[in-house]
Amino acid sequence: MATRPVMGERYSRVAIAFHWTVALLVVVNLASGIGGDAVPALGALFPLHKAIGITVLVLTLGRVLWRLGHRPPALPPLPAWERVAAHATHWTLYALLIVMPLSGWAMASNPERRRPLTWFGAFDIPYLPVSKAASGVGHEAHELLGWLMLALVLLHVAAALRHHLVLRDRVLARMLPGAR
């Protein structure tokens, strides 16, 4: 069995590009999704919200494939609970980065209330073959998981800042573009 390449103390440029591109898109979509519910005028952003969601799905699948072939740098010595929490948070974020766009796609695919679905106006995205009930489940899941995503993103950012500012280790620096 072939072993995956072991990386140095930093993530690869490809992993860093995936991370920060998806992070930016997720922040935009959390703001437009949660903000769009609070501020009706932001409803005009929903076509972009959906296109960004599909982009997040595709990039996440690419990132998972990349990750399967490329070992990340090792974590510094941490208490067992912290190591478990870090891995659980990362894998939950990966799952949400797949499930969130799929639940939104199911919601937009409601056969009784189809919503336009294009990728930034360049081409139509096919609707998923879902029932009205499955679309409704997608809608509820999308809203609830959006709040979970927000909480985990805030936890992830807080943990990275703790590593950088309190523990003063290299955990954050290994994912920063251009950091040494």
What single-letter DSSP state applies at residue 123?
A: E
| Percentage of the residues of the chain whose pLDDT score is greater than 70 | 95
Give tens-digit pLDDT for 73-98: 988 889 999 999 999 999 999 999 99
Given a contact cutoff of 8 angstroms between Cβ atoms, the answer to whether 71 and 7 are in contact is yes
Give tens-digit pLDDT for 92-114: 999 999 999 999 999 999 999 98
Instruction: Give the strand pairing for 123-124 and 118-119.
Output: antiparallel
CA–CA gap between residue 27 and residue 31 (Å, rounded):
6
φ, ψ of residue 142 in degrees (nearest 5):
-60, -45
**Contact residues for 128 (Cβ-Cβ < 8 A; gap 6+):** 105, 106, 109
One-letter amino acid at 35 equals: G
CA–CA gap between residue 172 and residue 58 (Å, rounded):
25
| Percentage of the residues of the chain whose pLDDT score is greater than 90 | 79
* pLDDT over 90 (residue 3): no
